[in-house]
A and B are shown apart, each in its own frame.
Chain A
Amino acid sequence: MAKTKLSLGYGPKLETVPVELPPGEPRPWDANDQLEVVGEPVPRIDGQLKVSGAARYTHDVALEDMLHAAVLRSPYPCATIKRVEVKAALDQPGVEAAIAVAAVGDKLIFAGQDVAAVAAARPEQARAALASIVVEYAPAPFVVGTRAAMRDGAPLVHETAVEERRTGADEPGAEKATGELSGNIRPGRSQKRGDAKRALNKAALTFEATYETQCHTHSSLETHGVMVRWDSEDAATVWASTQSIFSVRDEFAAIFGLPPAKVRVITHFLGGGFGSKFGANASGTAIAKIAGELARATNKPVKLMLTRHEEHLCTGNRPDSIQTVKLGATATPGAQAKITAIHVQAHGSAGVGTGAGVGRNASAVYTKVPDVLVESADVFTHAGPAVAFRAPGHPQGAFAMESALDELARQLELDPIDLRLAHDGHPVRRWQLELGRERFNWDARRQAAADMRARGTRVRRGVGCAVSIWGDFSGTEARVSVEIDRKGGVVVKNGVQDIGGGIGTIMAQVAAEVLARPVDQIRVEIGDSELGPGVGSGGSKTTASITPAVRNAAEAAKAELAQIAAEALEASSPSKLRWTNEGVSLGRRSLTWAELCERIEGEAIVAVGTRARTYGHYPKSFPGFPTPEIAGAQFAEVEIDTWTGEVRCTELLAVHDCGRVMNEMTVRSQINGGIALGVGYALMEERVMDPSLGVVLNPNLDQYKPCGAKDLPEISIVLTEVLSGNNNTGAYGIGEPATIPTAAAIANAVGDALGVHVRSLPITPAKILDALERGRQTSTEGDT
């Protein structure tokens, strides 16, 4: 290890911090580095392909002779298969293979589960042929409502222990659920500090409320799907709509008993994943297994892309939640009030799956609260399994915790920002709260909201804020290569996929920075497992995992070039050389880039770079990890028509830290996307199931309501860059942090506008009217 001192920190606070670097690691870019390309708002290098339609997504891939698959799904939420007969499907037009996926005796436990599948020449032929498959079901009692499933005597979803299923998109370090199944409830993750129950008993003042969040679907614009082509008996190429090429490769290899090296996975462009596209199969449907078996049976490539309807039933969702938050506080008046205890009891349903935790807002943001207990339990229901969804657990946990804080602040007549500042130990988040207070004109708007409430106006406005916590979970698995050929061409290669954040553009920028080349002179090849180990895009770690490896590869390639240049220019040491966009020089002697590259021996320099383990975490580490804690705060304004209940989020200020900004344009774009997702979660999105039929009622993008263009607030983004010394580029993630606080901030703004909190998401006009009615009743009671 080599010790060095770096200038690290943020905004008002820069410090010289000693950092130990692993051998061979270049000196990390710190506050003293003036970078030319990294950080600049470089437009996406593949932007034109995307907007012109030339980009080929998995949906667009077409191979000669390919067949299309369709899957027959159980219409029953709970049923045993008595008979399944696929033969008649083979006589249908265009059909070349039909397979049963479920067997006689199998118990199907949600509507939408795989039963059988066919492959036909055209997709509509495959779909039509499903009708000729004969299946007899013995339907059984079921339960789809979370509260209903918690009641004694509710039909049991699982009769035996349930193994927790995890993907690379789950929150790293989240506690494993180990509790015993009791009825449909299995106690799961818990986080503990001190003795919250005891502290609550002793508290002079307590607050308790129950918050509910809905089931939220990922609704990626590109549905889940794969194309499988067997290249030989034991080798296959898989085109997959995935956010993790290498876990698709490994899972596909495991399903068919192949060595992973015999499976090639390609994802040139991905139409969204949000955590749901990690495996070869989706969370509730075995798409890769089905396509692989049909391809094997027909000896033709088989493509299986799900419909929007299927996408809503069996490819994952964000679990719902019912969270009771108890806060204990001192009786000290005004700004001296201190929260002494937090106890969160959460139940949530991930359908037949696991993982209904509620994140770390309650346990890890308010570190100045001495006694904290967060308990969460999975409640099993006969519904499609959940899967990791952009910041698993956190948006629901933030909604409950941040709402409770605001309600307590209202009760204590305290400013919600002051209450947060008094209990949050992260210096960056505290700085963000102060910045937001000023930039959002917080005090004046709070006063205006109070005046409107007092006058009982028809149209109300209110403001709210909420914060996020996330960690730098980047890994060391990527191997990036940089090639510089004799004609001066530079290619950066890695098997990583672009989930949409624009990793290819950022790879080009980092290579351009190191090599002093223009960005448009760097070619980037990604999206193919043959390009070298990449990293799954989960945990907001793509940029922070890949860019340090790009830098290392580029530095290694440059070192080789520098040797050549030093020799040619007769430099005593390569460190004396001056690099520019033109080429390299020493005093008055110079070589153009082309002249220099011509001197490369052989075809090209090829250098491979890796990423060292995270070595710094200034100014604060994520609980349980020797890596940075990522802070964020958002401020929302809402406008509410109290006559109709119509509610809109009109303005949103997002103050986020994402380490060193690699590309200001793509960072802002990711934050915009996180906010759009959060606005939908706050105000309109909800998967609805019929309790007596057990089916999803809105499996489409018409009645399932993602946020649209007109629903977006005016967004302002402040990037509070933090140089943490975590890796050689200083990057860390933003994808998940950007969506964690949005719904909570909007809920708090609604509470400010109405003077009554809406404790359930989504905050629809119906719930606004209900809250107003409750407010009226409370004030009438107060009058008497």
Chain B
Amino acid sequence: MQPFALIRTKRLERARAIVRDKPEARALRAGGIDLLDRMKEGLDEPELLVELRDAMAPQVELGAGQPLLPAENPERFPSAPRFAQIGALTPLAQLAAAELPGAEALTEAASQAATPGIRNTATVGGNLLQRPRCWYFRQRELVCLKKGGDTCLALMGDNRYHAILGAGPSFIVHPSSLATPLLALDAVVSVFAGTPSDPPEGGATTEPNSLRLLSELFVSPADDPTREHALEPGDVLTSVWVPVLDGMRSAYQAVREKQSHDWPLAEAAVRMRIAADGSMRDLRIALGHVAPIPWNASAAAALLEGKAPNADLFAQAADAALADAAPLDGNAYKVPMTKGLLREVLHRASGLALPE
């Protein structure tokens, strides 16, 4: 690990400006979990870290506010009677302990990620913006597609933990365990982007100037294999907004090789409402750790929309969700696994009892 300096500022715009001035050598630090890992592994060697924790506060609030919709095309954002607002600096442990009726998929995912120690420090923003765990990417000496090389080393190598969906050209799986439920919950994010303004000391707080659908936060490797998210240096994710529909229910589950401190092999999250006639409505299904981006299984959701919960139907939806799967030579197991997982999560989210 190279020596580095750390500066603290209470002014977010100042923090952003510092990083924008010299992005190749500076970085923002929130919980610092993945950042410090990368620095210890020699993947990143910033000279200067700018502490975000003095400029932003942890926060989980239900129904206190609504995201500020842009003037242009506001209808592309979800509407809901209430939103849960989650500050980007909120530690996972605080999110895990929050009461968010209907959004249990999110609190369940937050309570299962990493270890108690990491959850006390790791933040919601950092979880969404962390870099992949791919064992080729993480080895300093190896030059893979993500690091500017010609090819994804997982293609010819050991790809047991890699993607089965998304068709490359990088076969990482997105590492965020919160992204999966947040995508199912149709979350939106607030971002401070662009040139920082220079508010006077103690002056009015600037509002985040960019609202995005969660899916817009992530970059497919087909567009740019060297990055996973669309934020530019100095951009700061400030809040995640979860629309809370009346009668909403959700569930999340992951499969792991071990239960203490392990990355999922596959994740599934489902959101729905059960209408008065017993049918499932407003269904959204997301899969995690199966593609380079959090995966929206919209075809599976469409298949179930408006129908009553039914075990055979869930199995069909699971088949539909994985219909495009194209496993590599070492990860075909993820196809039946993810199907089985999604069936279980559909049962749990809809309340239809699981078979023994």
Which residues does A use to contact B, with CB under 8 Å?
A: 75, 124, 128, 455, 457-459, 641-646, 648, 683-684, 688, 690-693, 695, 697-698, 702-703, 705, 707-711, 762, 764-766, 769-770, 773
Contact = CB atoms under 8 A, between A and B. Distances in A.
Nearest to B140: A309
B289 interface: no
B257 interface: yes
A458 B311 CA distance: 13
A758 to B, nearest CB: 13
Interface string B324-356: 000000000100110111011000000000111
B255 A644 contact: yes
A690 B141 CA distance: 14
A690 B157 contact: yes
B343 A643 contact: yes
Nearest to A452: B356
A214 to B, nearest CB: 13
A770 B135 CA distance: 24
B135 A703 contact: yes
- The 6 A-B residue pairs with the shortest CB-CB distance, nearest first, are A708-B260, A643-B340, A766-B333, A710-B259, A710-B260, A697-B135
Contact of A641 (B257, B266, B340): B340
Contact of B337 (A645, A683, A690): A645
A708 B1 contact: no
B305 to A, nearest CB: 23
Interface string B255-277: 11111111101100000000000
Interface of B: 1-3, 133, 135-136, 138-139, 141-142, 153, 156-158, 160-161, 255-263, 265-266, 333, 336-337, 339-341, 343-344, 354-356
B119 to A, nearest CB: 13
Is chain A's interface secondary structure helix, strand, loop, or mixed overall? loop
Contacts of A773: 336
A320 to B, nearest CB: 15
Contact of B260 (A688, A698, A711, A770): A711
21 contacts: A128-B2, A643-B341, A644-B255, A645-B336, A684-B258, A690-B136, A693-B157, A697-B135, A702-B261, A702-B263, A703-B133, A703-B135, A707-B258, A707-B260, A709-B260, A710-B259, A711-B260, A762-B257, A764-B257, A766-B333, A769-B333
Given A458-B356, A690-B157, A769-B336, A124 B2 contact: yes
A44 B31 CA distance: 37
Given A641-B340, A644-B344, A765-B337, A698 B255 contact: no
B157 to A, nearest CB: 5
B156 A765 contact: no
A709 B158 CA distance: 28
B257 A765 contact: yes
A305 to B, nearest CB: 15
Contacts of B136: 690, 697
Contact of B141 (A75, A692, A770): A75
Nearest to A707: B258
Given A703-B138, A707-B260, A773-B336, 10 more contacts: A124-B3, A641-B344, A693-B157, A695-B142, A710-B258, A765-B255, A765-B333, A766-B265, A766-B333, A769-B336
Contacts of B340: 641-645
A664 to B, nearest CB: 27
Contacts of A691: 157-158
A773 B133 CA distance: 29
A766 B139 contact: no
Given A697-B136, A703-B133, A769-B337, A646 B256 contact: yes
Contacts of B160: 766
Given A644-B340, A645-B340, A708-B259, A688 B356 contact: no
Contacts of B153: 690, 693
Contacts of A764: 257
Contacts of B138: 703
A108 to B, nearest CB: 15
B158 A690 contact: yes
Contact of B356 (A457, A692, A703): A457
B333 A645 contact: yes
A708 B259 CA distance: 7
A357 to B, nearest CB: 27
Contacts of A124: 1-3
A325 B339 CA distance: 36
Contacts of B3: 124
Given A644-B337, A697-B136, A703-B135, A711 B2 contact: no
Contacts of A646: 255-256
Contacts of B161: 703
A684 to B, nearest CB: 5
B265 A765 contact: yes
A645 B158 contact: no
A648 B257 CA distance: 9
Contacts of A698: 135
Given A458-B355, A766-B160, A711 B259 contact: yes
Contacts of A683: 257-258
B264 to A, nearest CB: 11
A306 B136 CA distance: 22
B51 to A, nearest CB: 21
Contacts of B343: 643
A458 B339 CA distance: 13
A143 to B, nearest CB: 15
